[in-house]
Amino acid sequence: MTSPQGALDRRLAELLAEDVGAGDVTTEWTVPETARARGALVAKSRCVVSGLPVARRVFALLDPDLAWRDEAAAGSPAEPGSALARLEGRARALLTAERLALNLLQRMCGIATATRRYVDAVAGTGCKILDTRKTAPGLRAFDRMAVADGGGSNHRAGLFDMVLIKDNHRRLAGGVGAAIRESRRRAPAAMRIEAEVESEEELREAVAAGADVVLIDNQTPETVAKWSAIARRAPRPPVIEASGGVTLARVRAYAEAGADCVSVGALTHSVEAADISLELDVSAA
């Protein structure tokens, strides 16, 4: 079985290969092979920190003797001009790894920053902010880590770890109730079954069929409040999730309407990367 570290290294090696190809010609032709450098990863924009272990591993794959010191903790706020980490190593390795390390770090800090804004917006309501599967292909593990660092919660990791019945499933299964019952018959006892609903009739059908979670999709906060009240009168009330174009300005209204959690695709599909740079100086050999 591949260890989590082994899986991470394999993915990062694939991403490095995409960038480096046959070799970093600029660095190899301009920087002496024996040159060393030291420097810092510096925030240029205000952000929430995420991804330093990933960035560190990118550099370490090319320089196993890398010296590294974190200057900020995951989930902490960083102000413009502050150092996130300091590093020292072989200059060629640092330059070759720079762009991949920064791409991942900037994306992860951007996701963590956006997540924190949503988490702060619902503070005190008990509502959780969830991510979705609307991630960049190949980067889901990094995106999920960043959401968690921002104070959010991770939804399902993929298609394999929970049932989520959506509109096309409902149509092809013959209705939400039929889809839930067949899923319950096949699913392991511990696997949660969630059903998306778009009408009060579907809500009642999903609750009667025993959905663990009901996803109220593309409805107003007023409708979420009404449907949540209906669902919670059931002998075994489901968790209520709201989703569908929920903006930062409106997320608290959904939380106050009774949603236990709100899933926000924009956390990962429309991320604004943080501005971070690698600033290097020559180091003694």
225-259 per-position pLDDT tens digit? 999 999 999 999 999 999 998 999 999 999 999 99
Q: Return contacts of 24-31, CB within 8 angstroms, 24+ apart.
A: 24/92, 24/95, 24/96, 27/92, 27/95, 27/96, 28/92, 31/91, 31/92, 31/95
| Nearest-5° Cα angle at 17, 15 to 19 | 75
- Number of compact structural domains in the chain: 2
Of 196, 202, 241, 260, catalytic: 196
pLDDT level of residue 2 (50, 70, 90 thresholds): low
| 186-206 tens-digit pLDDT | 999 999 999 999 999 999 999
CB contact at 8 A, 241 and 259: yes
96 and 125 inside one domain: no
Of 9, 182, 198, 217, catalytic: 217
106 and 183 inside one domain: no
Q: Does the pTM exceed 0.85?
A: yes
* Residue 196 among the catalytic residues: yes
| Number of neighbouring beta carbons within 10 Å of residue 186 | 9
Of 38, 117, 134, 192, catalytic: 134
> Rounded CA gap, 252 and 260, in Å?
11
41 and 62 inside one domain: yes
144 and 263 inside one domain: yes
Residue 98: the pLDDT is 98
CB contact at 8 A, 75 and 39: no
**Collapsed DSSP state (helix, strand, coil) of residue 252:** helix
135 and 31 inside one domain: no
User: Domain of 89: which CATH number?
Assistant: 3.90.1170.20
Residue 284: the pLDDT is 62
CB contact at 8 A, 164 and 196: yes
Q: Is the pLDDT of residue 280 over 90?
A: yes
Question: What is the per-residue DSSP string for 55-84?
Answer: HHHHHHHH-TT-EEEE-S-TT-EE-TT-EE
* Residue 166 among the catalytic residues: yes
Contacts (Cβ under 8 Å, ≥6 apart) of 270: none
| 262-273 tens-digit pLDDT | 999 999 999 999
Residue 230: the pLDDT is 97
* Residue 99 among the catalytic residues: yes
Q: Is the pLDDT of residue 78 over 60?
A: yes
The fraction of the chain above a pLDDT of 90, given in percent, is 95
19 and 29 inside one domain: yes
User: Domain of 232: which CATH number?
Assistant: 3.20.20.70
134 and 260 inside one domain: yes
Q: Is the pLDDT of residue 285 over 70?
A: no
126 and 246 inside one domain: yes
125 and 265 inside one domain: yes
Q: Which helix (H) or strand (E) holds 42?
A: strand 36-43
127 and 256 inside one domain: yes
**What is the average pLDDT value for the chain, to the nearest integer?**
96
105 and 128 inside one domain: no
In this prediction, residues 102-115 reach a mean pLDDT of 98
The fraction of the chain above a pLDDT of 70, given in percent, is 99
Q: Is the pLDDT of residue 96 over 60?
A: yes
Q: Is the pLDDT of residue 1 over 60?
A: no
Query: Could you tell me the residue range of the domain that residue 260 belongs to?
Result: 121-269
75 and 190 inside one domain: no
Of 99, 181, 226, 250, catalytic: 99
In this prediction, residues 80-93 reach a mean pLDDT of 98
